[in-house]
Amino acid sequence: MIVDCAIYREGHRSEGPHDFSDALDEARSAGGFVWIGLHEPTADEFDLVAQEFSLHPLAVEDALKAHQRPKLEVYDDSLFVVLKPVGYEPQSDTVSSGEVMIFLGDSFAVTVRHGEDAPLGAVRRRLEREPELLGEGPTSVLYAVADAVVDHYLDVATELQTDLEELEAEVFTPDGGGSRHTASKIYNFKRQILEFRRATGPLALPMTRLAGVGTYGGKVPFVEDRARPFFRDVHDHLTRVNESVEGLDRLVSDILSAHLAQMSVRQNDDMRKISAWAAMAAVPTMIAGIYGMNFEHMPELRWEWSYPVVVLVMVGLEVLLFRLFKRRGWL
């Protein structure tokens, strides 16, 4: 579905013709660019766009099928960038991700959105309120979308950090860590961090190239050199996000290890208590078993005080064992 199509001249919007080819020609003649936004387009809808803007077939296939890793690919007539915006639902502790594909070329930008976690409408409105930035051409679209996606990563990382602190407090409470559902909650939280990591981790290399830093920071076609400082800012934010994700992943692993260690300690405590009670039960059982044998000749068998003496011995031994186990912390 085509969500929006407009021509931008010197940072100001004007409605473009319905025909994409005419819109592109008009944008080029006026020194502006055309920006087309699509949401989960069908093959027929996108085939028209691909033909008019000479998009590479491999990039078109990726844009239609989605489920791509964040990446940056350079073709003869266009630049193809994939971003994965994410959303977080605190009630269910679930990280969801969508996809945004951006085609940049000579005087055009085409954005393709899959899923609901994509801020393209808000990005377009924000850019239209900043004509100086929008006047930089199609590069401003790529920067604004990447900036919005990465800034939302920071918000999601903050939400995850808050929920992780709550989970950590639950694990280390006297009774909370013993819940049978705690391990599954920790493991589910780790899966959400992995989903988040799939969106943020692979984006580091494309942002490095766009920012012009590091080994891979060469010139990128269809991206203005004067836009490099803006992409460096996005790159810095992404680095913070990736460091935060790494820290969250390590903390979750540590919490899971601590929880398993707590469970092991509790099991050992339970086994000590069971062993102590079993030992205390074994003493009277043994004495009663001996005197319960049907032998005719047994010591003190016919003695008048045999029964109370044996009971007192049993009680004395039980008290002795109880105090011994109590002193050692087994009971």
pLDDT digits (tens, 9 = 90+) for 14-62: 876 666 677 778 888 888 888 988 888 888 888 888 888 889 999 999 9
Confidence of residue 199 (pLDDT cuts 50, 70, 90): very high
Residue 72 reports pLDDT greater than 90: yes
- For the chain, the average pLDDT equals 84
pLDDT at 214: 67
pLDDT at 117: 64
Integer Cα distance of 169 and 171 in angstroms: 6
Confidence of residue 301 (pLDDT cuts 50, 70, 90): low
pLDDT at 43: 87
Q: Per residue in 220-276, pLDDT tens?
A: 888 888 889 999 999 999 999 999 999 999 988 888 888 777 777 777 777 878 888
Integer Cα distance of 328 and 331 in angstroms: 8
Give mean pLDDT, residues 202-206.
92
Token pair of 295 as six digits: 């032998």
Amino acid identity of residue 1, one-letter, is: M
Residue with tokens 């996005």: 234
Selected residue with higher pLDDT from 96 and 309: 96
Confidence of residue 70 (pLDDT cuts 50, 70, 90): very high
pLDDT at 201: 92
**Cβ neighbours, 10 Å, residue 154:** 14
Rounded-to-5 percentages of helix, strand, coil across the chain:
60, 15, 25
Percent of the chain scored above 70 by pLDDT? 91
